[in-house]
Amino acid sequence: MLSAFLNATTQRLKPALNLYGQVRTATKRVSGSGGRSGGTAGKRLGVKKFSDELVIPGNIIVRQRGSHFHPGQHVKMGRDHTIYSIAPGFVRFYVRKFGLRDRRYVGVVLNRGETLPRNEAALGRSRYFGFVELNGVERPTVVNRA
């Protein structure tokens, strides 16, 4: 009875036993999905001010890696490709053809309801100098007395 039990047990363990009668164990550690896969913190990239939102000079509109969005009127691009406002107004996003591709632009308009790109032939250039409005303001005429 005991010998029959031992024979049945050895038949089941035979694939796991080598020539010396030892059980083979793993020599490599299991590298599961855990461990050092914590990663780094997010960089908080993306659009910070959306279309038709009010911005003041210095407000960040888009944080990005690379130039997914390009600067339009009244905005500039920082050295880390951050687009920020240089004039108070309302944010506008628009698309323009650039070669064979479309390029996305971000701009700031001074009045709510304006659209970009601006028709400069009909409306003139949009200019902002500090807090002085120069669009549509007549200049005083200087009279020469000779």
Q: Kindly indicate the confidence band of residue 3, based on its pLDDT and cuts at 50, 70 and 90.
A: confident
Nearby residues of 17 by Cβ (< 8 Å), 6 or more positions away: 10, 23
pLDDT the model gives residue 139: 63
Q: Which pair of tokens denotes residue 15? A: 């694939």
Residue 10 has pLDDT above 80, yes or no: no
Percent of the chain having pLDDT more than 90? 47
What CA–CA distance (Å, rounded) separates 76 from 97? 20
Residue 134 has pLDDT above 80, yes or no: no
pLDDT the model gives residue 127: 78
pLDDT the model gives residue 141: 67
Residue 77 has pLDDT above 60, yes or no: yes
What CA–CA distance (Å, rounded) separates 91 from 54? 7
Decide: 138 and 130 in contact? Cβ < 8 Å.
no
What CA–CA distance (Å, rounded) separates 133 from 135? 6
Backbone phi, psi, residue 13, to 5° = -90, -5
Counts for the chain of helices (H) and strands (E), in that order: 2, 10
Predicted confidence (pLDDT) per residue in 25-68, tens digit: 777 766 666 666 668 889 999 999 999 999 999 999 999 999 99
Decide: 63 and 82 in contact? Cβ < 8 Å.
yes
Rg (CA), the chain: 35
What CA–CA distance (Å, rounded) separates 18 from 32? 28
pLDDT the model gives residue 118: 87
Strands 89-98 and 54-55: antiparallel
